[in-house]
Amino acid sequence: MSDVKQSREGLILRVLWMILFALVWQVAELVLLALVLVQLVYRLTSGRPHVGAMNFGDSLSQYVAQIGRFGCFHSDEKPWPFADWPTPREPQGEGAEAVRAAAWSAAAAPAAAAAPSAAPVQDAAAAEPAPAAVSAPVASETTVEPAAQDDSAEKGKDETGPDATAEPKA
C-alpha cells in the first residue's frame, strides 16, 4: 500500500509541475510570437535574419518542446531550470547563410580593429575601382609558382647526363 501512496503523491506532485509548466508555456509562446515578429521586421529591413534572435528562437522552441514532452509523460526530466537550457541547433536554409555571414564579419572585425591606420586606405580603395587590386594577388601567386619550378629546372640543367639539355649558359 505504501507503493500506491507514494505513486499517488508522485502523480500529484507531477500534476502541480505540469500546471506550473503550462503557465510557463503560455509565457514562452508569447515571447516566441514576439520574437517571430521582430525577426520578420529585421529580415525585411536588413535583408537577412538576425543570428542572435534566430539562435534564441531555436532554443526557446526546443524548451517549449521539452515542456510538451514532460506534460505528455514522454519524459520524466523536468525542463529548465531543472535541466540545462537547450542549445540552438545548426541553422538550415536562409538562416545558415546569415550565420556564415555573421561569422565572416566577426572574423574580419578584429583584423580591422588591430590596424586602425588601414581604414582610410580601405575607404580610398573603395572609392576607386577595385578590379585591378583584386586581380593583382592572383597574378602574383601564379608568377611565383612557375618561378619556383624554373629554379628547380635550372638546377637540373647544370648537371650533365642523359637528361641534360644543350642550352648555352649566359
Structural domain contains residue 170? no
Structural domain contains residue 32? yes
pLDDT of residue 41: 96
Instruction: Give the C-alpha separation, 137 to 106, whole Å.
Output: 24
Structural domain contains residue 127? no
154 has pLDDT over 60: no
pTM assigned to the model: 0.56
Of 31, 17, 78, 40, the residue nearest 59 (C-alpha) = 31
Phi-psi region of 73 (alpha: psi -120 to 50; beta: other; left: phi over 0): left
Structural domain contains residue 98? yes
Answer for the pair 95, 54: CB distance below 8 angstroms, yes or no: yes
Q: What mean pLDDT do residues 27-47 have? A: 96
Considering only 35-44, 72-81, 114-123, which range has the smallest mean pLDDT?
A: 114-123
Structural domain contains residue 83? yes
Answer for the pair 25, 36: CB distance below 8 angstroms, yes or no: no
The pLDDT-based confidence of 127 (bands split at 50, 70, 90) is: very low
Name the more confident of 138 and 4.
Answer: 4
Instruction: Give the C-alpha separation, 50 to 56, whole Å.
Output: 10
Answer for the pair 101, 59: CB distance below 8 angstroms, yes or no: no
Structural domain contains residue 67? yes
Q: How many domains does the chain have?
A: 1
